Amino acid sequence: MAYQVHVQGRVDLMNGGASIHLTPIAVAAAAPRPQAARPTPAEIAEWSVHSSRTPVTREVLNSAMCTVQKQLKLQTGLAGEWTPEATARLRENLAKPKKGAPKQLALEDKQPPCHESDAAKCAISPGSSGASTWKETLRGEIKELLEAIQAHQEIEEENEELKAEVQDLTPLIKVCDSLREKIDRLEEENLYLRQMLTG
């Protein structure tokens, strides 16, 4: 295992030779970041949250916290770091619209465009059943589009949460790999000893 030590020293030149004198230097450890309690859903309910981020479910909240941890370069995951700055950033992020959130579309009470030659066929009064049916159809299509966008955003948030959980498991995976290598070496040594005894 390699270690790094900060040193100071000097080189003495004498009779064509060199003598090096090194002295370790004490380096102050970096002060730990101040930790803070994570905001609860009840506390967040009193914040100003953008409509594109509601309702703030447990999954949405965990994903938003993971995003803040990455932005501030904190240890991610449910057992990761959380600071007062992280709480302020979370509140700021939740107040903003989601990335790619659809804008509110205003439906105007007007007829669909048509060519002059078809003006007589397309002429529909605002109060006619044809105009009402057209607007209802358009509203239905817009609703389906918004639902598809919302589903896509939820999938992206779940993927971010899964990535954070995988990062938390990375140290355990490395430990398991190290243990597996040690077991393999012990089995090889055990086999060698058996061969020596039986031979």
User: With pLDDT > 90 as the criterion, what percentage of the chain qualifies?
Assistant: 17
- Distance between CA atoms of residues 139 and 95, nearest Å: 27
Residue 106: band (very low, low, confident or very high) from pLDDT cuts 50, 70, 90:
very low
Higher pLDDT, 166 or 149: 149
Find the mean pLDDT for residues 59-71. Answer: 91
Q: Residue 93: pLDDT band by 50, 70, 90 thresholds?
A: very high
Residue-averaged pLDDT of the chain: 78
Residue 192 in tokens: 């060698």
Q: How many CA atoms lie within 13 A of 29 on its CB side?
A: 3
Residue 73 pLDDT exceeds 70: yes
pTM for this entry: 0.40
User: Do 10 and 23 form a contact (C-beta atoms < 8 A)?
Assistant: no
Residue matched to tokens 């089995």: 187
3-state helix vs strand vs coil in the chain, percent to 5: 55, 10, 35
Q: Which of 16-20, 70-74, 129-133 is predicted least confidently?
A: 129-133
Q: Could you report the per-residue pLDDT of 181-197, keeping only the tens digit for each?
A: 888 888 888 888 888 88
| CA–CA gap between residue 165 and residue 160 (Å, rounded) | 9
